[in-house]
Amino acid sequence: MSSATAAASAAQRPSAGAAALKDAVLTALIALGLFAPIVGLRTDVSPTGGLMLRQRWGDVAILVGLAFAGRLALLAWRAMRDGPKPASAGRAAALRKAGAFVTPVMLVLAVALPFVPGTGRYELDLGILVLTYVMLGWGLNIVVGLAGLLDLGYVAFYAVGAYAYALLATTFGLSFWICLPLAGILAAFWGVLLGFPVLRLRGDYLAIVTLAFGEIIRIVLTNWVSLTNGPNGITSIPRPTFFGLTFSAGGGPGSFADFFGIEPSPTHRVVFLYYLILALALLTNWVSIRLRRQPLGRAWEALREDEIACRALGINVTTTKLTAFALGAMFAGFAGSFFATRQGFISPESFTFIESAIILAIVVLGGMGSQIGIAIAALVMIGGFEVFRDLDEYRMLVFGGAMVLIMVARPRGLVGSRTPTVALGERKTIGAEHVAEGRG
């Protein structure tokens, strides 16, 4: 629909309206075809054990009506939008200016959150959850956003980190601070192990192999009962300590509260965990930002842009990909051991494909390669998911629908542009249309 149509005279309105109406009726008919069999006829197990049908035509009518109204509203909105547009260049500049403030403001908010009045246990737990995903998003961004390698099995490394910590801590009694680097190294090692044979595969072949790897890890964790306790998971994983000081609820000698002479409170541990994940996430961020401005990170981006040209410049494509893969895996390993120590309990159920999909969605929705975009995407997706807690069984439905909607509205993510890593003169932002997204 061109702007000419929208700006048409009032005399032509009725015909445009009629067309929209026809379109909406058609939509309603399709909705009827979609919903009548599946919503209208509900199969239930009858007392005799067989299946019987329950009819729900009222629900179908509501859904069809919604489809009709929704289509009409969409058409009306499109007609309005196609009218005179506000100066988009000015708006973009304003947005960029606002963007410069977003990062520091968010950082300050993140640091101050535990002291903001009204922040209770629930808010902190949510903050920890969001930050875990921010960290995972930043970690995966190294692989997908910078190096352009499509990894659908990122959760495998998260699982490796979690199980590495849980097993090392429960079997050998090692402390969190020793296990954390070990878990990261182990995850990176698995990244290299997987990456070495498969990184010469391109695009979707790499995607399915990484997905398969994620599933393999999960299946092994489920079935290797003697090591992992199978589907029942590992319980009573030691909690982290603050330089050897424990966070026991009752205080007591050697506890955090006792050492600092304050009233023991269960909040201390939550606050400590909150700052722990914040620090880990910021470490991930610091390493990726720094590496991006250096030869290794530049080589990753070059790899995403054109692999063949990289080879012609003497860049060892395989090792460069491997470093991205291993580094991404390492941060997932850190996040995994944090997850294990926070929960105190892990089982294979926490490491399903949907986790990988959510992390990937955060990276893509954030705008690949943009650190702040990913943080916002994680906040919106994970925080939003919490906000809609009351929707119960409709929650995942809304979640999936939101993923589709955001992608359709902003295919390049929230921040699709790229900032150059170095400049002779002024650093100019590079529009999303120029930036490649890799084929590997």
Partner 1 sequence: MAEPILEAGALTMRFGGLTAVDAVSFTAMRGDITAIIGPNGAGKTTMFNCITGFYRPTGGALRLFRDGTPVDLHRLPGHRIARAGVARTFQNIRLFPGMTALENLLVAQHVTLMAATGFGIGALLGAPGYRRAEKAAIAKARHWLEATGLVDRADDPAAALPYGQQRRLEIARAMCTDPLLLCLDEPAAGLNPRESEELSALLRSIRDGGCSLLLIEHDMGVVMRISDRVVVLDHGRKIADGTPAEVRADARVIAAYLGEGDEE
Partner 2 sequence: MAYALQQLINGISLGMIYGLIAVGYTMVYGIIGMINFAHGDVFMIGAFVALISLVMLVSGGIMDGPAAILIVLLVSMCVTALYGWTVERIAYRPLRGSFRLAPLISAIGMSIVLQNYMQVAQGARVKPINPVLPGGVTVLEADAFVVQFSYMQMLIIAVTLAVLAIFTWLVTRTPLGRAMRACEQDRKMASLLGIDTDRTISLTFVIGAALAAVAGTMYLLRYGVIDFYIGFLAGVKAFTAAVLGGIGSLPGAVLGGLLIGLIETFWSAYFSVQYKDVAAFSILAITLIFMPTGLLGRAEVEKV
Nearer to partner 2, 148 or 240 (CB): 148
Cβ(221)–Cβ(243) below 8 Å: no
Binding mask 210-239 for partner 2 (x = CB under 8 A): -xxx-xx--xx-xx----------------
Nearer to partner 1, 5 or 318 (CB): 318
Q: Which listed residue (90, 120, 197, 253) binds partner 2 by CB under 8 A?
A: 197
Please report how close the Cβ of residue 291 comes to partner 1 at its closest, in angstroms: 6
Burial class (CB in 10 A: 0-12, 13-18, 19+), 9: exposed
Please report how close the Cβ of residue 335 comes to partner 2 at its closest, in angstroms: 21
**What does 353 bind: partner 2, partner 1, none (CB cut-off 5 to 8 Å by kind)?**
partner 2
Backbone dihedral angles phi then psi of residue 52, each to the nearest 5 degrees:
-135, 165
Cβ(334)–Cβ(183) below 8 Å: yes
Interacting residue ranges for partner 1, rule: CB under 8 A: 287, 290-291, 294-296, 298-299, 301-302, 305-306, 308-317, 323, 418, 420-428, 430-431, 434-436
User: Can residue 314 be called a binding residue for partner 2 (CB under 8 A)?
Assistant: no
Nearer to partner 1, 148 or 161 (CB): 148
Using the rule CB under 8 A, give the single segment among 34-42, 130-138, 285-293, 423-431 that binds partner 2: 34-42
By CB under 8 A, what part of segment 124-183 binds partner 2?
144, 150
Q: Which of 169, 165, 168 is nearest to 184 (CA)?
A: 165
Q: Is 396 helix (H, G, I), strand (E, B) or coil?
A: helix
Strands 41-45 and 51-55: antiparallel
**What does 197 bind: partner 2, partner 1, none (CB cut-off 5 to 8 Å by kind)?**
partner 2
Q: Which of 140, 199, 187 is nearest to 162 (CA)?
A: 187
User: Can residue 190 be called a binding residue for partner 2 (CB under 8 A)?
Assistant: no
**What does 402 bind: partner 2, partner 1, none (CB cut-off 5 to 8 Å by kind)?**
partner 2
Cβ(117)–Cβ(288) below 8 Å: no
Q: Could you tell me if residue 229 is left (phi over 0), alpha (psi between -120 and 50 degrees) or otherwise beta?
A: left
User: Can residue 380 be called a binding residue for partner 2 (CB under 8 A)?
Assistant: no
Bridge partners (DSSP) listed for residue 55: 41
Q: Is 43 helix (H, G, I), strand (E, B) or coil?
A: strand
User: Can residue 39 be called a binding residue for partner 2 (CB under 8 A)?
Assistant: yes
Encoding tokens for residue 354? 């949907």
Encoding tokens for residue 225? 């009962």
Q: Which listed residue (411, 420, 427, 429) binds partner 2 by CB under 8 A?
A: 411
Count of residues that bind partner 2 according to CB under 8 A = 62
Q: What is the largest CA-CA distance in the chain?
A: 85
User: Can residue 119 be called a binding residue for partner 2 (CB under 8 A)?
Assistant: no
User: Could you say which DSSP state residue 83 is in?
Assistant: S
User: Can residue 407 be called a binding residue for partner 2 (CB under 8 A)?
Assistant: yes
**What does 299 bind: partner 2, partner 1, none (CB cut-off 5 to 8 Å by kind)?**
partner 1
User: Can residue 322 be called a binding residue for partner 2 (CB under 8 A)?
Assistant: no
Q: What is the Cα–Cα distance from 350 to 131, expressed in whole angstroms?
A: 17
CB crowding 60-94: b at 16 or more within 10 Å, else e: beebbeebbeebbeebeeebeeeeeeeeeeeeeee
**What does 16 bind: partner 1, partner 2, none (CB cut-off 5 to 8 Å by kind)?**
none
Encoding tokens for residue 188? 């990176």
- CA–chain centroid gap for 264, Å, is 35
User: Can residue 65 be called a binding residue for partner 2 (CB under 8 A)?
Assistant: no
Encoding tokens for residue 309? 């040209």
**What does 419 bind: partner 1, partner 2, none (CB cut-off 5 to 8 Å by kind)?**
none
Using CB under 8 A, list all residues that contact partner 2: 30, 33-34, 37-39, 41-45, 50-53, 144, 150, 197-198, 200-205, 207-209, 211-213, 215-216, 219-220, 222-223, 308, 353-354, 357, 360-361, 364-365, 368, 393-394, 396-397, 399-404, 407-408, 411-412, 437, 439
